[in-house]
Amino acid sequence: MQFSLWLALLGAGTLISFTPGAGAINTMSNAINSGFRRSLWGVLGQQAAIVIHIVVVALGLGLLVSSSPLAFNIIRYAGAAYLVYLGIRQFLAKPAVDGEGVHALRNEPRWSMFRRGFWVNILNPKAIVFFLAFLPQFIRVDQPMLPQYLIAAATVIAIDIVVMWFFFAGTAHSFQRFTRNARGQRVLNRIFGTLFVGVGVLLAVIH
């Protein structure tokens, strides 16, 4: 991949990663409830899904999904339902406080956070369509394909980890001062729960 083309990919990938979505909401929720460091596991789960999306596109399967209304809608509605489920669960979550009523971080298993991040991203058919339209612009058919896709995947994933963890998780971490009591936690749980449901509804109704 030419250096100038890689720089274009770097710039475009950065702008795209900063666009708020279900992954950003999930990352911020994890950072508030489980802490900045542990939120990385959810981010890594999201990257695992991105790897699969890129592989699907590279193998040409993305075109089949995007051109099949049935396959697209099955994934779309499953993803929307999952986000709504996460939103309701977050909205109804009980405050995590210690014996003195002070905010206590949830000790959610790392695999649980990784798995949720994976499903949040993998059940988004628009991501497949996005990569189908996005990646080919940076791939030259007159050059070996595998090295180009590997470079593109590594670049996109590195950008997303940095943006998700250091920006979204870091920003949400600063909100923890509002969760020092049960009332503050309930407010934030309802805010993030509503955001999850909102993104899920948008995924279901926007074509």
Q: Quick check: is 87 in a domain? A: yes
pLDDT recorded at residue 96: 62
pTM score above 0.85: no
Q: Quick check: is 167 in a domain? A: yes
Tell me the one-letter amino acid at 194.
Answer: T
For range 61-75, the mean pLDDT: 71
Q: How many structural domains are present in the chain?
A: 1
For range 46-75, the mean pLDDT: 80
Q: What is the pLDDT of residues 90-146, one digit of tens each?
A: 788 776 654 444 455 667 788 999 999 999 888 877 677 777 777 777 777 778 888
For range 39-53, the mean pLDDT: 93
Q: Quick check: is 2 in a domain? A: no
Q: Quick check: is 10 in a domain? A: no
Q: Quick check: is 8 in a domain? A: no
d(CA 89, CA 196): 10
Residues spanned by the domain of 117 = 22-205
Higher pLDDT, 63 or 32: 32
Q: What is the pLDDT of residues 8-17, one digit of tens each?
A: 888 888 877 8
Using alpha carbons only, what angle is made at residue 187 by residues 185 and 190, rounded to the nearest 5 degrees?
105
Q: Quick check: is 14 in a domain? A: no
d(CA 139, CA 134): 10
Q: Quick check: is 5 in a domain? A: no
- Contact at 8 Å (CB) between 183 and 189? no
pLDDT recorded at residue 181: 63
Alpha-carbon 108 to chain mean position: 18
d(CA 61, CA 51): 14
For range 177-195, the mean pLDDT: 73
Task: Check pLDDT > 60 for residue 171.
Answer: yes
